[in-house]
Structure 1
Amino acid sequence: MAASSQGPGKGVGEDKTSGRRHSEGNTKLKYISLAVLVVQNASLILSIRYVRTLPGDRFFTTSAVVMAEVLKVLTCLLIILLQKRGNVKDFIALLYDSIVSQYWDTLKLAVPSLIYTLQNNLQYVAISNLPAATFQVTYQLKILTTALFSVLMLRKSLSRVQWVSLVLLFAGVAIVQVEQEGKQKETTVLNQNQNYAKGLVAVVVSCLSSGFAGVYFERILKGSSASVWLRNVQLGIFGTLMGLLGLWWNDGPAIAESGFLFGYTPMVWGVIFNQAFGGLLVAVVVKYADNILKGFATSFSIIVSTVTSVYLFGFHVDLLFTLGAGMVIGAVYMYSLPKVAAPSSAPSDLDSSSSAHRSHLSNAGEDSETDPFLAKSVLVK
């Protein structure tokens, strides 16, 4: 009897210890995810800005976009092959059936791929002409455009807090632009190779394209059973073709004379690898985080970019920029908060808390499945 009573007691103790360790492990993974998200969000923008402002030969941004697409396709193909446990026959059969046999389904991705390619090129233009901190703040307008396209195309509903956050976001970006407008003449004199107006138009168009392409891609994902990795292969194929077309159109003669890899340095390769693998890396680590943590990471990355820009590029932070950036940071965090579940006709405390928890998990799960892949550009979310 003593032995039998000890057995269950020991089992319960082991379950509690295992559960505690599992909880501690998840907490550590969340903080690791936060660090990775912040580093990836801030480092790519700062590194692009750095390599585009260095003296000497400049690499062709169109070739960098193509190279990033090729690396992304190869990575996704490797992941699919591993999912097939190295069975090359099944791997080829899956690709043929999904890409060639279902060609109409594949062609649907030509539209977002074209827009993503345009967006990636525009971001290089924007970062080359705007201070890194200003770009980071202004680029958060993609949250506004994505929300509006989601309401229009997917019939999604936004909470009052989200609508307020969008207004706050727009106001914060507007304040930053007013503050930067006062510095435009000075910037033009000191940096004759930079055009603030050109950079601003590029980032605004990039935000519009990001919003539309992201929602369009989300709609395709939800209407299909294909894996996200396979969808990224399809996107990457079109992205590579569109990128090559843009390369030929914009830099064809220059690349024919100087070479595809002209101006590539270890730092440039670092930027390309960050752009290619950054989104995929975020997609993996965000599974251990939640939507609130993603919003916090984005907000914190703005602070990191601003502080780093002060020391690296001599960026001047004044009261207006601080106010505008603070409003954007608050808006990003507010928008990422989970919706409050609507009360039922006869709610109990247990039912309402359970419903809210399920709603939060549903929202976080949906975001983690789609958001990291919607922005195939410098920022994921």
Structure 2
Amino acid sequence: MNIKKLVVLSLLVIQTTTLVLTLRYSRSKPVEGARFLNSTVVLVAEFVKLICCLLVILKTNEFNTASALGEIRREVIHKPIETLKIAIPSGSYAIQNNLLFIALSYLDAPTYQVTYQLKILSSAIFSVVLLRRKLNFLKWVSLILLMAGVALVQIRPDDYEEKDPTLRWYGLGAILMSCVSSGFAGVYFEKLLKRSNQSLWIRNIQMALFGTVFSGMACYYSDMDIISRDGFFQGYDGLTWFIVLLHAVGGLLVSCVIKFADNITKGFAASLSIVISSAVSYFIFNELNPSHYFVIGTATVLLSTILYSRPG
């Protein structure tokens, strides 16, 4: 593995694991007063991502403001059809990000991490449908193992006491819908990248622009009454701003994975993140009391992820 792939792998593992654990902690810890709103965090993260993308474009134009603005005007404003195409995956990502907050409000981090690997299944299905991609026998076997592993993780032993099973199923429903949204958005974005000569960072600017719009709509329609009463930044603290930055960095890291890494790197990153999240939840947060179903299911998901990432 070369240096660039190693750096991307390390950053992806750190970002994914830290985001999941901090999000789970922020949604489960007791707070005085109002807790921050999911919709506002997603909106602020999209805005931060937009600023970062604009700075990258400025750097690629050697910090010539006129040249950078000219590129944005030429590639974004003067190509409205190409720009509008990004609205579809951007809207899907906005839905996904809001659903992930809901899922982590009701699921422990390891269960979330393992179940979220079903996005591999949805991505595979959408790649076959949208990209006409053919999957070999090993990949189909790995997808079957993935579904079996996720199913095993959901089984609770007879002596397991659950506070409110309804809330857990609510979280599982949110993460399943998020997997579908993530798979569709990722494959559709890949399709646009392969059929366009626009740069990756211009596409990211378009994504962030629409992401800001869609996230703003989510704020307005779901939380405007609460925002009007208690303020947009209610419940924000240092941890909340850290989560905002992790969300923004995550979007940029995906771009780096597309450019510098491959499916093997993503597979190892996902596997390492699951292992680290489970260890932290068990030893530090005391949230995880793994049954044999969970251990076998997690091992099956890890195996399926690695098998699916193999070339061929």
TM-score using structure 1 length? 0.77
> Sequence identity, in percent?
41
Shift of 1:30: 4.5
Contact kept in structure 2, 1:176 and 1:324, CA below 8 Å? yes
Equivalent residue for 1:172? Answer: 149
Deviation (angstroms), 1:281: 3.5
Secondary structure, aligned partner of 1:161: helix
Q: CA, structure 1 residues 332+180, in 2 after alignment: closer, same or farther (shift >3 Å)?
A: farther
Change (3 A) 1:31 1:97: closer
Q: Which amino acid in structure 1 is aligned with residue 164 of structure 2?
A: T
Distance 2:232 2:71 in 1: 32
Relative contact order (alpha carbons < 8 A, sep ≥ 6): 1 or 2 greater?
2
Distance apart, 1:287 and its partner CA: 5.5
* 1:129-208 alignment, distance < 5 Å: 129-179=106-156, 183=160, 186-188=162-164, 195-208=167-180
Equivalent of 2:299, from 312, 326, 341?
A: 326
Whole-angstrom distance in 2 between the partners of 1:207 and 1:180:
26
Residue type matched to 1:125 in 2? I
Q: Are 2:212 and 1:215 equivalent residues in the alignment?
A: no
Aligned-partner Cα distance in 1 for 2:149–2:196: 38
What does the per-residue CA deviation read over 1:264-287, in whole Å, with 9 as the maximum and x for residues that have no partner? 111111111011012323543776
Task: List alignment gaps of at least 5 residues for structure 1.
Answer: 1-25, 340-381
1:338 aligns with 2:311: yes
**1:69 aligns to 2:46 (yes or no):** yes
Aligned partners of 2:199 and 2:4: how far apart in 1?
24
Aligned equivalent of 1:379: none
The equivalent of 2:19 in structure 1 is: 44
Provide the C-alpha distance between the structure 1 equivalents of 2:305 and 2:60, rounded to a whole number of angstroms: 35
Which deviates the most, 233-242 or 307-316? 307-316
Aligned residue among 55, 62, 65 for 2:30: 55
Q: Give the AA of the match of 1:324.
A: G
- Give SS of 1:179's match: coil
Q: Structure 1 residues 44 and 218 mapped into 2: Cα distance closer, same or farther (>3 Å)? A: same
> Structure 1 residues 153 and 289, CA, compared in 2 at 3 Å: closer, same or farther?
closer
Deviation at 1:297, TM superposition (A): 2.0
- 1:91-114 CA-to-partner distances (Å, cap 9, x unmatched) read 112111222211121111111111
Unaligned runs of 5+ in 2: none
Q: CA deviation at 1:29?
A: 5.0
Letter in 2 for 1:101: H
1:171 partner letter: A
- The corresponding residue for 2:88 is 111
| Change in CA separation of 1:102 and 1:142 when aligned onto 2, cut-off 3 Å | same
Q: TM-score, normalised by structure 2?
A: 0.93
* C-alpha distance in structure 2 between counterparts of 1:232 and 1:181, whole Å: 48
Aligned-partner Cα distance in 2 for 1:182–1:332: 30
Q: Is the 8 A contact 1:77 1:233 kept in 2?
A: yes
Q: Hey, what's the Cα distance between the residues in 1 that align with 2:302 and 2:259?
A: 23
Which has the larger Rg?
1
